[in-house]
Amino acid sequence: MKAFFIDRYGKQNGMLGEVPDPVVGVHDVLIQVHATSVNPLDSKIRTGEFKLILPYTFPLVLGNDLAGVVVRTGSAVKRFKPGDEVYARPPEARIGTFAELIAVNESALALKPLNLDMAEAASIPLAFLTAWQALVEIAQVKKGQKVLIHAGSGGVGTLAIQLAKHLGAFVATTTSTANVEWVKALGADVVIDYKQQDFANELRDFDVVLNSLGADVLENSLKVLKAGGQLISLSGPPTAQFAQEQGLSWVLGQVMRLLSSGIRRKARKHGVSYTFLFMRANGMQLQKITSLIEAGVIKPVIDRSFPFESTAEALRYVEQGRSKGKVTITIK
């Protein structure tokens, strides 16, 4: 099959070429990929940023989102059959959606929303599961609470704003001048233009902050939280609890405990909690997300779509950090 893969870690590595077809296990579903999408995670994996956490072997096919059609199923698969239109974020140990075919454990799969085309569906899984696990699972956001979502025009931000509003929250977000009115249209109640305003001076008494930016933004986010609030970060630093959940070594757990000690100590001083979120594949949660999409509650936001042959260009475009919503790749 044709796939976009790397044979070593490095910023510009990656090529389109032939690789063996996937091996289909008894619990796997073989999917013909019609569309995928690009996430910042793809670039981080390509450069080796996660090589201690996720020890991949080469050649490594990149890609963490898919929408496509079931070709065949393993003998133990119960919920899917050939011809089903599905979408998923594969488990992190078996990524590889920048390809014509992929085998995915059925626990990560859900039926594609009927009201989305393949490219729209492929833009959803990783970003929306991240927003869901942050706001529903960890923060348990309730009606009337105040939620700050950093980088509101990004892939996760555009969906997190919509989800937080659906949950009944008052939503603030940060973005650049050019995107202020655009993120308001997504549902944000307050928009902080980070080029002209300092969110830490403008906002107070928030219940939840969802951070995907750097260390300075992470630390300043403590100032806007009220006592008992929650700071959830997608960009780290990781914690010892995360290491334990990932089944990492004791040594790595201690390294992560040390890396996160500063922000955890400052969070305790402010009377708030700090959580590092590394989203995980979850087909049952994706099924609930499907219901919200089919009800018209959540709409995908797509910036640009690239053909499969331009996968390297799509990665470069996302690495610039200026895309509004998601960037998709059409494979079939």
CA Rg value for the chain: 19
Q: What is the pLDDT of residue 52?
A: 85
Q: Are residues 134 and 112 in the same domain?
A: no
280, 307, 318: which is closest to 4 by C-alpha? 307
Domain residues for the domain of 310 are 2-123+300-330
Q: Are residues 19 and 92 in the same domain?
A: yes
Q: What is the mean pLDDT of the segment spanning 196-210? A: 97
Whether the pLDDT of residue 322 is over 90: the answer is no
Q: Are residues 106 and 139 in the same domain?
A: no
If one counts the domains in the chain, the total is: 2
Q: What six digits make up the tokens of 228? A: 């008992």
Indicate whether 288 belongs to any domain: no
Residue 102 is inside which H or E element, if any? strand 101-105
Backbone angles phi, psi at 137, to 5 degrees: -80, -50
Model confidence over 247-303: pLDDT tens digits?
A: 999 999 999 999 999 999 999 999 999 999 999 999 999 999 999 999 999 999 999
Q: Are residues 219 and 106 in the same domain?
A: no
Indicate whether 292 belongs to any domain: no
Q: Are residues 131 and 105 in the same domain?
A: no
Indicate whether 281 belongs to any domain: no
Q: How far is CA 238 from CA 66, 92, 167, in A?
A: 26, 16, 27
Give the count of beta carbons closer than 10 Å to the beta carbon of residue 153. 25
Indicate whether 190 belongs to any domain: yes
Q: What is the CATH number of the domain that holds 30?
A: 3.90.180.10
Q: What is the CATH number of the domain that holds 202?
A: 3.40.50.720
- Counting Cβ atoms within 10 Å, is residue 66 exposed (0-12), middle (13-18) or buried (19+)? buried
Query: Band of the pLDDT at 64, cuts 50, 70, 90?
Result: very high
137, 96, 71, 152: which is closest to 280 by C-alpha? 137
Measured CA to CA, the distance from residue 248 to residue 240 in angstroms comes to 9
Mean per-residue pLDDT of the chain: 96
Whether the pLDDT of residue 321 is over 90: the answer is no
Q: What is the pLDDT of residue 161?
A: 98
Q: What six digits make up the tokens of 225? A: 């939280």
Torsion of Cα atoms, 137 then 143 then 145 then 147, to 10°: 60
**Would the pTM of this model clear 0.85, i.e. be above it?**
yes
